[in-house]
Amino acid sequence: MPLELSEVSDPIAADQEYLWTLNFGPQHPATHTTLRLVLTLDGEKVVGAVPHIGYLHSGFEKLGEHLDFNQYVTIVDRMNYISPIANELSWHHTVEKLLGIEITPRCKYVRTIFGELMRLHDHLLNVGAVALDLGAFTAFLYAFQQREKIYDISEYASGQRFHSSYTRVGGVLFDVNNDWVEKVRKFVREFKPVHAELHRLLTRNRIFIDRTKGIGVLTPEDANNMSVTGPLARASGIVRDLRKDEPYLAYKDFDFKIVCARGGDCYSRYVVRMQEMLESIKIIEQAIENIPAGPINIDAVTDITLPAKPAVYRSIEGLIQHFEVLMPNRGFPVPLDEVYGATESPNGELGFYIVGDGTVRSYRARTRPPSYIHFAIFPHLIRGHSLSDVVAVLGSLNIIAAELDR
């Protein structure tokens, strides 16, 4: 049971000699990635936590100022590597907003399907990893088996399982075909029984509930005040989903619900993620049967998208077009202005703030990383709980250190 916050945050008690310090991380199985917590403990009770981050900082935003809009997608991939294409969607959504491009209906549908597959990808890992940290190994394996199938789908479309670098300005790398559609259909069919099984393993599991219910409670007021978005905010009862509030891609066309819970604890976050998976499946089912025909990339004459490879090899126009886009002194016209664009990534609002200076490189490419903002609330959530709850809370926040540090 959580203790009264006033009792442990007393400044005089914090100076007492009986408090001891525990270094949690940077290498610890339950942090999953590289981050460090310095915990102050009173017996087993956590009275303070100071996160230390930056172990994986690799200057992504600086690199974004030196790579062009298509090249930077490979870096964006490596931010939240649990759901790589969700990052690409957000990056190119913002770039296209800056350039004022409207992508084709077919591309919107394909990107939407990938966006939802990535949501499943991320939530599966999170549900599995939370269960694993709390001692339930089976659920983790069930979840990972399904993630393998999503890897296959993304390999089939882009050629790479993990860091697919699939989207391009004004379109995607390769068009999808009927085999891919069939693969997604098969995945959707096979996913539902596995999801039901995960439910049976965890949702009413006594041990799992004891470890997660009432742990790390985040009130709606605090969630707003601390900039929390995504499943974390929805688990605290905030009805906010960019797919509904600021519809992008093809989300306007589909029938789905925003999943919310009132608890605000680790268990509510688990339930929200589980239910969101079903909503994602619903979206994929609707989208996959209605992919519009027509081109996937916007017209090549606009100097923005690369022409198809057969056109490059077999016609002089295609070859000229190819060089027009790729040569450093050509490229497409970029406005001298700046724009913020955001999408609902599996982890929350993933936004980019891009400043265009007329060249094909962004002058500034700021990422609003949900993991970074969510990790900042960790000391607030853990105060007053016991040491063993650290892994439960950490797991439920879904911190991806590559996105945390960039």
Partner 1 sequence: MVEANTTVADLRTQFGNELTESSFRDNHRVHVPPEKALDVLTWLKEQRGFDMLVDITAVDYLEYPDATDRFHVIYLLLNMTTKERLIVKVPVNLPDAALPSVVPLWKGADWMEREVYDMFGIDFIGHPDLRRILMPEEFTTFPLRKDYPLKGFGERHNFPVLTRAES
Contacts with partner 1 by CB under 8 A lie at 53-54, 57, 59, 61-63, 66, 97-98, 100, 222, 224-228, 238, 240, 245-246, 335-340, 342, 349, 351, 353, 355, 357-358, 363-364, 366, 368, 372-373, 375-377, 380, 405-406
Percent of the chain as helix, strand, coil, to the nearest 5? 50, 15, 35
Q: Which is nearer to partner 1, 115 or 351 (CB)?
A: 351
Cα separation of 281 and 14, whole Å?
A: 48
**CA distance to 40, 94, 276, 388, per residue, from 350 (Å):** 32, 11, 17, 30
Q: How far is the CB of 213 from partner 1 (least distance, A)?
A: 25
Q: How far is the CB of 234 from partner 1 (least distance, A)?
A: 13
Q: How far is the CB of 332 from partner 1 (least distance, A)?
A: 17
Q: Which is nearer to partner 1, 175 or 338 (CB)?
A: 338
Q: How far is the CB of 328 from partner 1 (least distance, A)?
A: 16
Q: Which is nearer to partner 1, 45 or 368 (CB)?
A: 368
What is the C-alpha end-to-end distance of the chain, expressed in Å?
Answer: 36
Q: Is 205 helix (H, G, I), strand (E, B) or coil?
A: coil
Q: How far is the CB of 247 from partner 1 (least distance, A)?
A: 12
Contact between residue 353 and residue 340 where contact means Cβ atoms under 8 Å apart: yes
Q: Find the helix or strand (DSSP H, E) in which 184 lies.
A: helix 178-202
Q: Which is nearer to partner 1, 246 or 299 (CB)?
A: 246
Q: Which is nearer to partner 1, 151 or 372 (CB)?
A: 372
Q: Which is nearer to partner 1, 348 or 395 (CB)?
A: 348
Amino acid 355 reads: V
Q: How far is the CB of 221 from partner 1 (least distance, A)?
A: 9
Neighbours of 160 (CB within 10 A): 15
Q: The tokens of 195 are what?
A: 């999801």
Q: Is 51 helix (H, G, I), strand (E, B) or coil?
A: strand
